[in-house]
Amino acid sequence: MRINYNIDDIRAFCYATRTRQFQKAADLLFISPSALSRRIANIESAIGGPVFHRSTRHVRLTTLGATFYDQVSPLLAQMDDCFSQAMRIAQGDEGNLVFACIATVAYSTLPQILPQFHATHPSVLVSVRDGIATSIMNLVEQGHAEFGISTQMAFGSAIVAEKITSYGFNIVCAKTHPWLNQRKKVTWQELHTQKVVGLNPLSSTRLQIDAELRSAGIELPWTIEVDQLSSILGLVQNEGYLAVLPTLFDAKRHGLRSVGVDGPTIERDLFFAKRRDSTLSPQSQLLAELLCKAIRHA
């Protein structure tokens, strides 16, 4: 059975109950007393009985009205709170922000811009999903992340992608590593004599590096393969390994040293991506702008 009422009718009933006067309730709602009376009549018609005993000066609840008020008043307050919270989230004052990016951006770029972001949105919880390009774009395409910062790949038709920058690669090592002492650049050919840690061979970055080195007739340098950037850094810092990392990675910030590598020069493009049918929230828009600007100036 459909019951005909609307939220304005319930609000009018609650205001009249609290003020015990139709005139005062109407003034608080910025409507006429007759309009408020019609809203109360709608409630009584929907329920099937009177909710107020009326006098010339005051109104008081009937037993039916008191029972109804006890049940509906907290629901109305909860609904108002839900709308208020949704408005704060829409305006970027609070809520969750989920985005996905390659680990290098999470390690080196995100810490630089978070203070500026949180100065504007101090109550927004930022959730970072860092991983390889395929997992990043899956999260964006499925709507689990508002946007992604990813290396080049075949973007689906649901995705709109904008190039942020191009980057190359450095060799990263501990500051005390003897092989790179005083050197400013090395070649890919020289790496096969060293212990070199590489990313997962199925990652897009690793696939490109391997393909270009094979094309140039250069022996692949990898001694060990890992999935996570944190594992790479552990091996570099503690076990004397070298790592091939994007030039976006700030080695100095992590107490490490980096030198350029060429022969051949290998470059990749980095993209900002989001769903074509989505609009970024204000907080996501700001975070994306800060990240892209910092990446371009890295």
Sign of the CA dihedral running 198, 186, 256, 195: positive
What is the band of 131 on the pLDDT scale with cuts at 50, 70, 90?
Answer: confident
What domain count does the chain have? 3
Read off the CATH number of the domain in which 234 is found: 3.40.190.290
Long-range contacts of 84-88 (CB under 8 A, 24+ apart): none
Please tell me whether residues 257 and 176 are part of one structural domain. Answer: yes
Please tell me whether residues 177 and 254 are part of one structural domain. Answer: yes
Predicted confidence at residue 209, as pLDDT, reads 94
Q: Is residue 2 part of a domain?
A: no
Q: Which domain holds residue 113?
A: 95-166+269-296
Query: In this model, does residue 154 exceed pLDDT 90?
Result: no
Please tell me whether residues 246 and 224 are part of one structural domain. Answer: yes
Q: What is the pTM of this model?
A: 0.70
What is the band of 137 on the pLDDT scale with cuts at 50, 70, 90?
Answer: very high
Q: Is residue 177 part of a domain?
A: yes
Mean pLDDT score, 95-120 = 92
Q: How far apart are CA 198 and CA 200, in angstroms?
A: 7
Query: In this model, does residue 205 exceed pLDDT 90?
Result: no
Query: In this model, does residue 59 exceed pLDDT 60?
Result: yes
Predicted confidence at residue 85, as pLDDT, reads 67
Q: Is residue 180 part of a domain?
A: yes
What is the band of 76 on the pLDDT scale with cuts at 50, 70, 90?
Answer: confident
Question: What is the separation, in whole angstroms, between the first and last Cα of the chain?
Answer: 64
Dihedral in degrees, nearest 10, Cα atoms 118, 120, 126, 128 = -80
Mean pLDDT score, 181-186 = 86
Q: Sheet harboring 242-246: ordered strands across?
A: 185-187, 256-262, 169-174, 242-246, 196-199, 224-226
Please tell me whether residues 149 and 284 are part of one structural domain. Answer: yes
Please tell me whether residues 175 and 107 are part of one structural domain. Answer: no
Please tell me whether residues 230 and 282 are part of one structural domain. Answer: no
What is the band of 287 on the pLDDT scale with cuts at 50, 70, 90?
Answer: very high
Long-range contacts of 151-159 (CB under 8 A, 24+ apart): 151/102, 151/204, 151/205, 151/268, 151/269, 151/270, 151/271, 152/204, 152/268, 152/269, 152/270, 152/271, 153/204, 155/271, 155/273, 157/276, 158/275, 158/276, 158/277, 159/273, 159/274, 159/275, 159/276
Do residues 142 and 100 make contact, with C-beta atoms less than 8 angstroms apart?
Answer: no
